[in-house]
């Protein structure tokens, strides 16, 4: 027996890619980001007495984290000094990534955040999918 539940969350944010990249994403732009977070029952675990693998209400903690740190903010690489300086000097909401804030890195970061907030003895986050556009997805799967 295996169950997974999946929750979609959305936010608006700007980013650009500056390191080792010369395509159009080097220019500052924004997306309506969509992430799908998947939680699975750990091996040998069963649905709870209510028949749930994970109460969808528990995902609100992840949504709140995203709203606080990313929504209507700038997702910026730590080496993007010019933009980072401007953001700080102008009191703009931003979140610093150790590398380019790609969909892949955003999925990886969100996986870690969601795992911290949602993992318990019965369930664990197993997958995060992040989309910049309806046609593009990056997938991060935990071990």
Which residues form the interface with Zn ion (CB under 5 A)? 25, 132
- Smallest distance from the beta carbon of 56 to Zn ion, in angstroms? 28
Parallel/antiparallel/unpaired status of strands 4-15 and 29-41: antiparallel
Report the SS3 class of residue 73: strand
The smaller minimum CB distance to Zn ion, of residues 108 and 132, is found at 132
- Smallest distance from the beta carbon of 41 to Zn ion, in angstroms? 34
The smaller minimum CB distance to Zn ion, of residues 39 and 66, is found at 66
Rounded Cα–Cα distance for residues 113 and 109 (Å): 6
- Smallest distance from the beta carbon of 17 to Zn ion, in angstroms? 7
Rounded Cα–Cα distance for residues 16 and 6 (Å): 28
């Amino acid at each position: 027996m295996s169950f997974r539940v999946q929750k979609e969350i959305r936010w608006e944010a700007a980013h650009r890619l500056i390191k080792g990249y010369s395509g159009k994403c080097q220019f500052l732009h924004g997306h309506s980001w969509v992430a799908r977070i998947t939680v699975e029952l750990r091996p040998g675990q069963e649905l709870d007495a209510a028949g749930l693998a994970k109460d969808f209400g528990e995902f609100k903690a992840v949504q709140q984290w995203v709203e606080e740190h990313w929504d209507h903010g700038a997702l910026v690489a730590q080496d993007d000094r010019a933009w980072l300086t401007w953001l700080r000097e102008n009191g703009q909401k931003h979140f610093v990534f150790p590398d380019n804030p790609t969909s892949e890195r955003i999925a990886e970061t969100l996986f870690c955040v969601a795992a911290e907030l949602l993992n318990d003895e019965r369930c664990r986050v197993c997958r995060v999918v992040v989309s910049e556009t309806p046609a593009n997805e990056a997938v991060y799967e935990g071990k």
